[in-house]
Amino acid sequence: MRLLKIIPDNTNIGFVRVRHIAFAITAFLTVAAIALVGVHGLNMGVDFVGGVSIEEKFQSPPHLDEVRETVNRLGFGEAALQQLGGQNTVTIRLPVPHSKADDAVDKMVESVKTALAAKFPGATFSTYSTVSGKVSGELVNKGVLAVILAIVGIAIFSWFRYEWQFGVSTAVAIIHDVLMALGFFAVTGMVFDLNIVAAVLTIIGYSINDKMVIDDRIRENMRKYRKMGMSELIDLSVNETLPRTVMTSLTIMLALASLLIFGGPVLRGFTAAMMLGIVVGTYSSIYVSSSLLITLGLKPGPREEKPSAASGAERVGPREGA
């Protein structure tokens, strides 16, 4: 088992001494992510911009990659597929046609039906529906609200569980993680849909779990080493939890790598967001969240000194004299 250890025991890495460099990098990446989202925007999926959902039934479960390639060749935009029921029925989601003609949607659906019938003999059209802009707008609002409430709830929980400094540092680190994910999708142009919102919420959950482990150890060491300086105490706490942090991240990355390789295009965006979130979340837990506690003025509690016998006699003396 010693050969499998990635992080040796009793590490003594000085994470706090490079906190100013880490803060500068974090600030730069955060501003860059905001700028990229503001300039390039996000490639919103059908869930957020509206679109057409077509239901097609096949004689046998089709290969989704072949269905997607057949539909994408028609030039209506990137198709999002989902198998239903016994895997023979596939839902195909496409963006709303740019044409303002009344029959634009009907023509698009007819083109998809013809192409699929030619590629997959026996395929039959079931029905189609259109996602309106109002529904997509509600999905955007609810997705943003879910992310904001998750961050606020985590910050409040950390505040009450520990000290207010823990709540602020955790919120800052999680906001950084979320913005990194948004910046990644702005750069790559990958489709941002409800699956990515789920990935962002999962990233928040992973980040708070990682940070809570370190925060618990910091609070424990604050009670144990009351005379130790905060820099040394935080370095000690992070080093003590480092094997757990790294091994957890690597284990999840291995699972995500399998999804990225074998999961197909449907899970590609979700998996990419998760992998980025694990890397960024691990970095922010080690270099940002914990070191920020020093900047926020967190200090170990005062030593509880027990009264000595002499001091007790001095307090009794005046009463006896009285």
**pLDDT of 4:** 53
| pLDDT, greater one: 211 or 319 | 211
Average pLDDT of the chain to the nearest whole number? 78
Sign of CA dihedral 280, 281, 285, 288: positive
115 within 8 A of 121, measured Cβ to Cβ: no
How many other CB atoms are found less than 10 A from the CB of residue 34?
14
Residue 35: band (very low, low, confident or very high) from pLDDT cuts 50, 70, 90: very high
Domain boundaries, the chain: 11-42+136-295, 51-131
Question: Nearest-CA neighbor of 228 among 292, 305, 294, 163?
Answer: 294
Residue 119 to residue 104: CA distance in whole angstroms: 23
- Which residues share a beta bridge with 82? 91
Q: Which residue has the tokens 């996000």?
A: 42
pLDDT at 250 over 80: yes
Provide the residue type at 202 as one letter. T
Rg over CA atoms, the chain: 28
Residue 63, pLDDT score: 84
Whether 232 has a pLDDT exceeding 80, the answer reads yes
Distance CA 89, CA 91 (A): 7
Give the strands of the sheet with 89-94, arranged side by side. Answer: 80-84, 89-94, 51-57, 124-131
pLDDT per residue over 143-158, tens digit each? 778 778 877 887 787 7
How far apart (Å, rounded) are the C-alpha atoms in residues 77 and 86? 27
Average pLDDT over every residue of 106-129 = 84
Residue 100: per-residue pLDDT = 66
Asked if CATH classification 1.20.1640.10 holds for the domain at 11-42+136-295, the reply, yes or no, is yes
The whole-number pLDDT of residue 31 equals: 92
Residue 263 pLDDT exceeds 80: no
Half-sphere exposure of 125 (CA within 13 A, CB side): 17
What CATH class has 51-131? alpha beta
- 3-state SS, one letter per residue, for 215-249: HHHHHHHHHHCCCCCHHHHHHHHHHHHHHHHHHHH
- Pairing relation of β-strands 191-192 and 124-131? unpaired
What is the SS3 assignment for 39?
Answer: helix
**Predicted pLDDT of residue 80:** 79
Q: Measured between alpha carbons, how far is 278 from 267 in angstroms, rounded to an integer?
A: 16
Distance CA 270, CA 254 (A): 15
- The predicted pLDDT at position 28 comes to 92
Confidence band of 267 (pLDDT split at 50, 70, 90):
confident
Please give the angle made by the CA atoms of 74, 77 and 81, to the nearest 5 degrees: 90
Instruction: Tell me the percentage of the chain whose pLDDT exceeds 70.
Output: 83
